[in-house]
Amino acid sequence: MSLTRADVEKVSLLARLRLTPAEIDLFTPQLGAILDYVEQLGRLDTTDVSPMAHAVELTNVFRADELIPSLPREAALVNAPRADGECYLVPAVLGE
Amino acid sequence: MDLTQSTASSLLELLGTGQLTSVELTRHYLDRIATHDARIGAFLRVDADSSLAQARAIDAKRQAGQPVGLLGGLPVAVKDVIAQRGELLTCGSRMLENFRSPYDAGIIERLTAADAVLLGRTNMDEFAMGGSNENSAYFPCRNPWNTACIPGGSSGGAAAAIAADFAPLSIGTDTGGSIRQPAGLCGVTGLKPTYGRVSRYGLVAFASSLDQIGPLAHTARDAALLLQVIAGHDPRDSTSVNAAVPPYSQTVTQPLAGLRLGIVPEHFAAGLDGEVAAAVKSAINVYETLGASVREVELPHAQYAVATYYIIAPCEASSNLARYDGVHYGRRAEMGPLTAELAAERKELLAAGRAADAAKVDNNLVRMYRQSRAEGFGTEVKRRIMIGAYALSAGYYDAYYVKALKVRRLIRQDYDRAFEHVDLIVGPVSPTTAFPIGQKANDPLAMYLDDLYTVSANLAGIGGIAIPCGMSAAGLPIGLQLTAPPFQEDRLLRAAHMFQTATDWHTRRPKM
């Protein structure tokens, strides 16, 4: 398969990345080559193989239902680019 | 006192007998860093005041006759991907240039409790993505054996710090070889523990099902000491395994009788550099003289490991790195120019009669995300996010991601079968010695293919160790890799120590 510029542009929106035209020029063939390489997995018959998502296959790990302190709000907000002391601030999206 | 050939174990003895104080030792390393690190670039930041204060407190404890922890005043360098309260945590990225950790990682608590001195934060490929340390957003790290060459990555700074003798112990992380490969290329010992052996709480996630924290040091004995401190269950990491930690530092010196080693013929196929092959083969001969038996084993799906890895790791990365949205923490683009730019784009499209296109222009929030991430991430990180987003997108998820997860199981089953016949598998760490900086910068796939011997252990979740086993004619270190069944770190360390009692590769140090 080969990847097109339009594919790369579409994925850049999904990935919430803004790519420059130069980056799209660079990535289109590079990502295409990587995807061509990984296509080799298609040669393997994996019909009866179940997917392995994790090296230690745990289903659920529970802890006792006890209150433990969480990160204080001030500490959680201290690295925010914009905050008002209570909330993270973001650009308005409604009623634009 | 001449400390130039010291190891963590020998220094601990000097500290214990009072011949050396932690303050003197910390000063020694701070001085070496100040003198030499400008041309290596192993550290992103060193905090002299704080590390000397820690050293003073440990010395005071010892002088007062109080018990001290297992690391008793030894300096430890930490890769800049692990949270340390109040300290910068950049992950080698502009995205987190000003980010300060609000809490300590599990292993930082353990290091502190063991009376380590936290010396500074080591350089790395951005978000641990890379095998050369050239992807650091700040400056590349260089190989102490030849500063024109890469140190390997992503824990390039962690390995270079040991090789250059800037610290006796360091902490790295390994998602696809990021401890073992730089250890091999810098001539030091580096261990990737079994997945779940060490808590990932406070480790910035790259690929959560593959990431593991581990030790780097001059010797297996030193690595055993550091692993003993950092290993163990942590309820805050639900994937950390609740199993007792063996006393690695006590057992490491015990040789393994009747050791059965496996070699994989494909590991010695085309692509492996001749000098590396010769050094690895003579290392296997050393094991034979120590009484080990060697037989061939098959890992029939090993040839698919790189393809499997470069689907799974980018998928997990694109998901994990979605958190860098310019809202909660990290870089945010300036909104003023963006808002104006968006208005102009819409106006231009409307003027051209393209109302449908004008309606598709990003809204403020989406453009803010996209621009913030564009400014914060470097090229390799963007590349991997793009591969992951593509492989996870509608219509491709089964063909790429689910397929790779199935092959992952085949790779794990290969190991399970091979380990029915052998105790350890032995082979090269990397196909070549360290290459010149810049050589593979424009060919990401070529860089990925260098990971062919290391990524399988991460996919299977098993442990592996890299130890020095030779030098090339050009004076660059060659590494030997041993891999073991899950939770057999003790076996890996003992086998590595056996080799280090019979050889002196681990004692060689670059001229600084």
Task: Over range B297-313, report the average pLDDT.
Answer: 97
Under a CB-based contact definition with an 8 Å cutoff, are residues B80 and B89 in contact?
yes
Tell me: pLDDT of A95 over 70: no
Q: Tell if the CB–CB gap between B406 and A14 is shorter than 8 Å.
A: no
Is the pLDDT confidence value at A96 over 60?
Answer: no
Cβ-nearest to B369 among A11, A16, A49: A16
> Is residue B345 packed enough to be buried (19+ CB in 10 Å), middle (13-18) or exposed (0-12)?
middle
Encode pLDDT of B229-284 as tens digits. 999 999 999 999 999 999 999 999 999 999 999 999 999 988 899 999 999 999 99
pLDDT band at B4 (very low <50, low <70, confident <90, very high): confident
Instruction: Determine the average pLDDT of the residues in B164-188.
Output: 98
pLDDT at B512 over 60: yes
| Among B421, B16, B463, CA closest to B212 | B463
How many whole angstroms separate alpha carbon B218 and alpha carbon B468? 9
Q: List the one residue out of B480, B429, B418 whose CA is nearest residue B454.
A: B429
Minimum mean pLDDT among A87-91, B19-23, B51-55, B307-311: which range? A87-91
**Between chains, do B444 and A53 touch, taking CB under 8 Å as contact?**
no
Q: How far apart are CA B73 and CA B61, in angstroms?
A: 10
Give the chain A residue nearest B365 (alpha carbons).
Answer: A91
Alpha-carbon gap, residue B511 to B82, rounded angstroms: 30
How do residues A39-73 score in pLDDT, each as one tens digit?
A: 999 999 999 999 998 887 777 888 889 999 999 99
Where residue B2 falls among pLDDT bands split at 50, 70, 90?
Answer: confident
Cα nearest neighbour of A75 on chain B: B102
Give catalytic status of residue B372 as yes or no: no
pLDDT score of B131 more than 70: yes
Can you tell me the mean pLDDT for B34-48?
Answer: 97
Catalytic residue among B79, B132, B155, B240: B79
Overall average pLDDT of the B471-492 stretch: 98
pLDDT of residue B341: 94
Give the Cα separation of B473 and B38 in Å (integer): 27
Q: Which residues of A touch B174 (CB under 8 A)?
A: none
CB A23 within 8 A of CB B385: no
Instruction: State whether B328 and A90 contact (CB < 8 Å).
Output: no
Amino acid A55: pLDDT: 83
Mean pLDDT for B149-162 is: 98
Among residues B187, B130, B249, B192, which one has the least CA distance to residue B482? B192
* Residue of B132, B136, B178, B456 with catalytic role: B178
User: Smallest Cβ distance to B405: which of A37, A53, A79?
Assistant: A53
Among B195, B374, B460, select the one facing A17 at the smallest CB separation. Answer: B374
Could you give the CA distance from residue B218 to residue B162 in angstroms, rounded to a whole number?
Answer: 7
Active site residue B79: yes
